[in-house]
Amino acid sequence: MNVRGRRESPYSNPVLIGALTVLVTIVAVYLAYNANNGLPFVPRYSLNVQVRDASELTHGADVRIGGTLVGVVNSVTAARGVNGEPIAVLGLKLDKSVEPLADNSTFDIRLKGAIGLKYLQITPGNSKRGLANGATVPVTQSSSEVDLDQVFSMFNPPTRAGVVASTIGVGTSLAGRGSNINDAIGAFVPLLGDLDPVARNLASPSTQLGGFFRGLEQFAGALAPVAQTQADLYVNLDTTFRALAAVAVPFLQDSISQTPPALGAVIDQSPTIDPFLTDTAALLSELRPGFAALPQSAPVLADAFAKGTQTLPGTKTLDQLTVSLAKTLGSYSNNPSVQHGLDRLTLTASSLQSPLAFLTPVQASCNYVTLFLRNIASLLSEHTDQGTFLRFLPIAIDDLPGRESVPSHRVYTGPPGPASGPLHVNPYPNTDSPGETPECAAGNEPYSASHAVLGNPPGNLGLKTETTSRGSG
């Protein structure tokens, strides 16, 4: 009996298996080596970012948005800016998921760790226009942080000698005062609690804290030429303090010891007097025009006071009644119901401020309220067989194909007839109200027999409307 030999499997060949293993290893090493540059055959979103200084940012560095890795720095090349200054251009390869970035996005080179590694931080902007693939971001939208070595470079030999001398002086002054420092740290706890709103105010852009430091820099620069004069001032102050040493105890000592209770009382009363100070500031602001007019009105007021001193002796009864009225008003104003009513009136007046500011020009500039009331009165006074003109008004429309009597997908434009014509409607006419074109559009729109007019017509119709007078109808 002949037994056929089994066909040998190619996977049992050790040479073939070894070759496949080497090939897979080479592919894995290649992919691992090029992982930072992106995997092959994977589309990428490319951008070129101009920076004044690459700040040791290298090829393969991370690109992150909010801490999430979105790409890598593919290249760092030298170039020149618009003004000819040397700059660096960062070639970025980003994930397609972030395409497109807003064209006002910012790019910051930041420190990744304490050993000096850097990465590029992208802060997406809010613009509706995006950066196309391959676009170049100008240098004005990039920045870099100050490195630690740059910070430490300010400690030159003279500065280090000054720091050593200051440290020795502070150490000498604090020697033997450990318990006092401990008590001071405990007293700082409420201060840290109150420091939070102060820090928020300082961090607000409207505080312009940066402008304060820039002004301080200019102030210090202005003081540099008079440094010797300032040194002489401190020498003279030393003489003054020597003279004050004779009265330091008990006079200055008592004054200093009474200062903390006084400051504590001020702090405790601050919440109570804060509304008063706020109202006082608002009152003084409103009185500013009056103060400006005082130089002209002061002589008139002086004459009035002179006449008043001659008249007041005969108004004793009026004074008594005025005092009684003031007391009655004081009792009335302390009534909780009255205070609640005043609060509601104040809220109502505040709520009506915006509507009245919008509606006032409707009447003041365009006379629309008076015209509306006059026309309503005229409609109610005109009679027909079925009632007043306002209640019944026959409307005749031509019942012909293409006319206004049948449904249509577009505005009717004509031809005009005795009972039909192109549509003219202006549901929101312009007035002289805030945010609108200063014109009186309602009632002044021109009529066109050839085409429809929807909304406010082009151009400015002016602020002229029909003038009304008492008795006009």
Q: pLDDT by residue (tens digit) across 280-305? A: 999 998 888 888 888 888 888 888 88
Domain presence at residue 267: no
Q: pLDDT by residue (tens digit) across 217-229? A: 888 888 888 888 8
How many distinct structural domains can be found in the chain?
2
Q: What count of Cα atoms within 13 Å lies in the side-chain half-sphere of residue 174?
A: 11
Boundary of a domain, candidates 150, 182, 197: 150
Domain presence at residue 49: yes
Q: Residue 81 CA to chain centroid, in angstroms?
A: 32
Q: What is the pLDDT of residue 396?
A: 59
Only one residue has tokens 């930072």, namely 36
Query: Residue 365 pLDDT > 70, yes or no?
Result: yes
The burial of 91, by beta-carbon neighbours within 10 Å (0-12 exposed, 13-18 middle, 19 or more buried), is given as: middle
Q: Are 177 and 170 in contact (CB under 8 A)?
A: no
Q: Which of 120, 129, 136 is nearest to 47 (CA)?
A: 136
Query: Residue 246 pLDDT > 60, yes or no?
Result: yes
Give the tokens for residue 93.
């390869």
Query: Residue 413 pLDDT > 70, yes or no?
Result: no
Query: Residue 402 pLDDT > 70, yes or no?
Result: no
Edge-to-edge order in the sheet of strand 142-144? 135-137, 45-51, 86-94, 68-80, 62-65, 118-123, 106-111, 142-144
Going by DSSP bridges, is the β-strand pair 68-80/86-94 parallel, antiparallel, or unpaired? antiparallel
Number of other CB atoms surrounding residue 222 within 10 Å: 9
Mean pLDDT of 391-418: 62
Domain presence at residue 269: no
Q: Are 108 and 49 in contact (CB under 8 A)?
A: no
Residue 425: partners with Cβ closer than 8 Å, 6 or more residues away: 453, 454, 455
Query: Residue 121 pLDDT > 70, yes or no?
Result: yes
Across 86-100, 314-328, 363-377, 383-397, least confident range: 383-397
Q: What is the pLDDT of residue 414?
A: 64
Higher pLDDT, 148 or 428: 428
Residue 424 bridge partners (DSSP)? 453
Dihedral sign, CA of 93, 99, 101, 102? positive
| Cα distance between residue 461 and residue 449, in whole Å | 19
Domain presence at residue 123: yes
Q: What is the pLDDT of residue 192?
A: 75
Query: Residue 1 pLDDT > 50, yes or no?
Result: no
| Cα distance between residue 460 and residue 232, in whole Å | 71
Q: pLDDT by residue (tens digit) across 303-321? A: 888 887 777 776 677 778 8
How does residue 473 score in pLDDT terms, banded at 50, 70 and 90?
Answer: low
Q: For all residues of the chain together, what is the average pLDDT?
A: 80
Domain presence at residue 375: yes
Domain presence at residue 54: yes
Please give the helix or strand (H or E) that residue 87 lies within, else none: strand 86-94
Query: Residue 70 pLDDT > 60, yes or no?
Result: yes
Mean pLDDT of 38-53: 76
Q: Are 129 and 102 in contact (CB under 8 A)?
A: yes
Q: What is the CA radius of gyration of the chain?
A: 42
| Cα distance between residue 452 and residue 411, in whole Å | 7
Mean pLDDT of 13-31: 68
The domain of 435 spans: 365-473
Query: Residue 31 pLDDT > 60, yes or no?
Result: no
| Cα distance between residue 192 and residue 353, in whole Å | 41
Higher pLDDT, 316 or 376: 376
Domain presence at residue 442: yes
Across 48-52, 120-124, 189-193, 300-304, least confident range: 189-193
Mean pLDDT of 256-273: 85
CA angle, residues 445, 451, 456, in degrees to nearest 5: 30
Percent of the chain having pLDDT more than 90?
A: 0
Domain presence at residue 166: no
Boundary of a domain, candidates 150, 185, 211: 150
Boundary of a domain, candidates 93, 125, 150: 150
Q: What is the pLDDT of residue 388?
A: 65
Higher pLDDT, 209 or 450: 209
How does residue 349 score in pLDDT terms, banded at 50, 70 and 90?
Answer: confident
